[in-house]
Amino acid sequence: MKISLIAHDNKKQYIVQFALAYKHVLEKHELYATGTTGQKISEATGLTIHRFQSGPLGGDQEIGALIAKNEMDMVIFFRDPLTAQPHEPDVTALLRLCDVYSIPLATNMGTAEILIHGLERGDFSWRDIIHERTKGERNGSNNS
């Protein structure tokens, strides 16, 4: 599965701790992250992470583009609800896309742990069906 890891500045330490705690799960998947978050996680864990721009420079939008193409399976986004973000419209758009495309989304540690445990159990195998359907539509073999 393709998993995005994102964190606002005041939450970066928490997503690094999360990645360290669940490295054994995350290392089995393709990981993506916004700039600094990806760097911090990679340095702390040794995990391979595809890094996009930082959030304010378009990283949220790059991840959103993958969601819109059904090429992202899960988003873990540790948001800071108490600090105004200069790119809040981009954040809102990303969250909206997760809802539109039924992408599992965690915006805090508690929900992220539930998603990771579900991932470990295989609860998200339905995403494979989505990928097959999307692949078929791209190849023109839609049977509807």
pLDDT (mean) for 80-105: 92
- Catalytic annotation, pick one of 9, 60, 73, 128: 60
- Residue 55 domain-assigned (yes or no): yes
Q: What percent of the chain has pLDDT over 90?
A: 74
Global pTM value: 0.88
Q: Which domain holds residue 131?
A: 2-138
Verify whether residue 80 is a known catalytic residue: no
d(CA 65, CA 120): 26
Q: What is the pLDDT of residue 130?
A: 75
* pLDDT for 57: 87
Please say whether the dihedral angle defined by the alpha carbons of residues 102, 108, 112 and 113, taken in this order, is positive or negative.
negative
Do the domain assignments include residue 96? yes
| Residue 77 pLDDT greater than 50, yes or no | yes
* Residue 6: CATH number of its domain: 3.40.50.1380
Give a yes or no: residue 144 inside a domain: no
According to DSSP, the residues that pair with 6 across neighbouring strands are 77
- pLDDT tens-digit map of 27-52: 999 999 999 999 999 999 999 999 99
pLDDT band at 68 (very low <50, low <70, confident <90, very high): very high
Quote the pLDDT of residue 138. Answer: 66
Domain count, the chain: 1
DSSP secondary structure, 8-74, as one string: -GGGHHHHHHHHHHTHHHHTTSEEEE-HHHHHHHHHHH---EEE---GGGTHHHHHHHHHHTT---E
The set of residues, in sequence order, having a beta carbon less than 8 Å from that of 20 and lying 6+ positions away, is: 44, 45
Contacts of 112 (CB under 8 A, 6+ apart): 18, 76, 78, 106
Digit-coded pLDDT (tens) for 110-141: 999 999 999 999 898 878 777 777 666 767 65
